[in-house]
Structure 1
Amino acid sequence: MPSSRRGLLLGLSGLVAATVTLIGARARAARYYDGPVSDHFDGTYFRDPHGAAPKSFTDLARWWASRGDSAAWPDWAPSPHVDRPPERVTGTALRISYVGHASILLQTGGRNILIDPVWSERASPFGFAGPKRVNDPGIPFEALPTIDTVLVSHGHYDHLDLDTLSRLVAAHRPRVITPLGNDTTMREHDPAIAAEAFDWHDRVEIAEGVAVTLVPLRHWTARGLMDRNKALWAGFVIETPAGRIYHVSDSGYGDGFRFREARERYGPFRLAVLPIGAYEPRWFMSDQHMNPAEAVQALQDCGAELALAHHHGTFKLTDEGIDAPPRDLRTACAAAEIPDERFRVLKPGEAWEI
């Protein structure tokens, strides 16, 4: 290798290492939330009493050492669809637009609700490295209708995109609702992000006939190397004139307790939005991400009439191929005798009107 190229690579490696060290040092000292101790908060860290702790750094190194077996993704996999949503959807109608990965626009009851919006090129703390999107957001940013409310489920970079939040605040001034501690991250980045933070089972009224309740999931969160679980994560039960929507951001399946709990406490559900991607290898991912067969079981557990798949096809985060989640979902639905139209898979830019 020429010395100039070797020097460039060494310089980039040093920059990445220094940046990671800085993020880790700041996160170690950071305190994202001060509040009373509970069954899922010990005064510093959050945990799921029915979940599992995040994998260790040793396990992470073991996974990365084996990633030669990871399925290759294309550099670019554009969707043939582009959505330009209406300004409002009123009454009991429900319109869902799939932006891509975990980003979804819900329109119902005259309200526009954007969930986990990511318009950035990378799901990463770095602008030059990390998972890079392989298709454009399904809604061009300038084509968004007026956004009333943004729901951010947790702090992982493929869900909490600070640059996108700043763009949304500048353009729309939405109300931002998130679990405890994530508001600190948002305000430190941009004081104009007037985030409101809530605990599991807190109910927040958005408008007449529209409300959201934050609900427990089997997951975890972090922004750096040393801040694991200093903020909370959550799913959302969204009450609308079109029925109740159960939105699961990231979650392992475990024994299914969280999905049965949601049904018993907050059902019945018209629609469940369930993740189907980022699940291989199972020894590493099963505690935090469902595979498609588990997503089908989660649908049965929560009892929703309909389901929409998300968390697939835009960012390569784990080892399965880009087409594996929808293919494996179709197989799992067939095995469970669930018709395809009950558990839908959309491409970025496609919309589903219910």
Structure 2
Amino acid sequence: MRRLLKGLGTALLFLAVALCFAPSLIPPFLDRIYYRGPPSDHFDGERFFNPGFGHYGGGNPRSFVNRVLTADGRAEWPSEVPVRQTVPPRRVNGSEMRVTWIGHATVLVQTGGLNILTDPIWSERASPFSFAGPKRVRAPGVKFEDLPKIDLVVISHNHYDHMDLPTLKRLWARDRPLIVTSLGNDTILRNAGMPPRATEYGPGVEALDWGQPTLISRHEDRTGGGPAYVVPLRNHHWGSRWGTDRNRALWSAFLIKLPGGDIFFAGDTGWGDGSWVKEAAAQGPYRLAIIPIGAYEPRDFMKTNHVNPEEAVHMFEMLRPTAALGIHWGTFQLTFEAINDPPSRLANLRRARGIPANGFLATEVGRTFSVPAR
């Protein structure tokens, strides 16, 4: 009986993930059209794709579902990890840059009078369901009520662990930030009550194609010199909310261009052929790079979806930022590796390649650190 209940719990834990990886199991009526526009080198008129790879399947979904149900090779995570939460300052002015890892892909960057959030999620589950799906084992490193007023939110794609509508609704109601994402995702946000950006420097949702910039704010208002803007950049991933809406909206990394030093946020990504990393490196230099290091096993299935620590270090060496933060680990158990495997492997790789510990960090949730100027 205990074994049966454990198997049932595992199945529920991974239900949302498995459904997204197995669109053939989802009724066609759950499909959605998020974007209409002319074909391009990454849009065929109906769905987006990774250039050079087409509409790849991301591994064998039936094999993955079977392994989920049997928990074959899946490491056991603790149900809860203690977190020492922090209270960030309301603003960080001038050239100082303070960075707080809140958990998963959510990072607070404070610099030049701007408060920036990446892929914010404060929900207990990364799932379309409140009763099932991956549950948080680490609380957010900053309580929502302790979060300073947010000026800019970037959303890399529409998976539930990166586009968390309950959190985004709270942020919009409280702060009215600028929300920048990639093509098609604005439809989902608009349907959830977040309106499009109406003026050049105003709040609201703006959905952009790869390489298309938008101004964040008037430079004299916040940053003290030079334009501040954000640009979605190519990375290697996919998007879906319900399985059959696969790749109806675009995914992206981001360049956040600031007078005090630029930020690269990789979003959620596989390596692909690495050409997108070379393109991103050409947009540098970067003061801060935010790079995923977790959710990579089993490798035969996850290779097309998520980089592993070895690929993350390769990315770091190509981008050559002043500092990097490793994210996307230790918050939600989305895959099979042990909870501390990503930072452990990163530490071994740093030592082997002569990278200083403060060059590519994997911090505990809630820790704040400063990034030196270039």
Q: TM-score, length-normalised on structure 2?
A: 0.86
Q: 1:183 aligns with which of 178, 186, 194?
A: 186
Letter in 2 for 1:279: Y
Matched, 1:139 2:157: no
Matched, 1:78 2:82: yes
Tell me the matched-pair count. Answer: 340
Structure 2 gaps, min length 5:
197-203, 220-226
Counterpart of 2:37 in structure 1 is: 35
SS of corresponding position for 1:328 = helix
SS of corresponding position for 2:334 = coil
SS of corresponding position for 2:216 = strand
Conserved? CA contact 1:104–1:117, under 8 Å:
yes
Identity %: 45
| Partner Cα separation in structure 1 for residue 174 and residue 370 of structure 2 | 26
| Partner Cα separation in structure 1 for residue 67 and residue 186 of structure 2 | 31
RMSD across aligned positions (CA): 2.3
Letter in 1 for 2:35: Y
1:201-243 CA-partner distances (Å, limit 9, x unpaired)? 0111102132111000011111012011000000001111321
Alignment of 1:192-341 (within 5 A): 194-207=204-217, 208=219, 209-264=227-282, 266-341=283-358
Q: Which moved more, 1:342-351 or 1:160-169?
A: 342-351
Cα distance, 1:58 vs structure 2: 3.0
Q: TM-score, length-normalised on structure 1?
A: 0.90
Cα distance, 1:26 vs structure 2: 4.2
1:271-315 CA-partner distances (Å, limit 9, x unpaired)? 211000000011011111111111001111122222111101100
Q: Which moved more, 1:337-346 or 1:44-53?
A: 44-53
1:237-260 CA-partner distances (Å, limit 9, x unpaired)? 111132111110111123321111
Conserved? CA contact 2:91–2:114, under 8 Å:
yes
Cα distance, 1:43 vs structure 2: 0.9
Conserved? CA contact 1:115–1:150, under 8 Å:
yes
SS of corresponding position for 2:262 = strand
| Partner Cα separation in structure 2 for residue 59 and residue 316 of structure 1 | 18
Cα distance, 1:340 vs structure 2: 1.2
| Partner Cα separation in structure 2 for residue 169 and residue 258 of structure 1 | 31
Counterpart of 2:223 in structure 1 is: none
| Partner Cα separation in structure 2 for residue 101 and residue 286 of structure 1 | 19
Letter in 1 for 2:45: G
User: In structure 2, do the counterparts of structure 1 residues 219 and 63 end up closer, same or farther at CA, with 3 Å as the change threshold?
Assistant: farther
| Partner Cα separation in structure 2 for residue 48 and residue 32 of structure 1 | 18
| Partner Cα separation in structure 2 for residue 231 and residue 61 of structure 1 | 24
Letter in 1 for 2:228: V
1:162-195 CA-partner distances (Å, limit 9, x unpaired)? 0101111111111111101111111222255742
Counterpart of 2:200 in structure 1 is: none
Alignment of 1:80-159 (within 5 A): 81-159=84-162
Q: 1:60 aligns with which of 42, 55, 64?
A: 64
| Partner Cα separation in structure 1 for residue 270 and residue 70 of structure 2 | 22
Structure 1 gaps, min length 5:
none
| Partner Cα separation in structure 1 for residue 136 and residue 65 of structure 2 | 24
Matched, 1:352 2:352: no
Conserved? CA contact 2:103–2:365, under 8 Å:
yes
Q: 1:69 aligns with which of 55, 70, 73?
A: 73
SS of corresponding position for 1:186 = helix
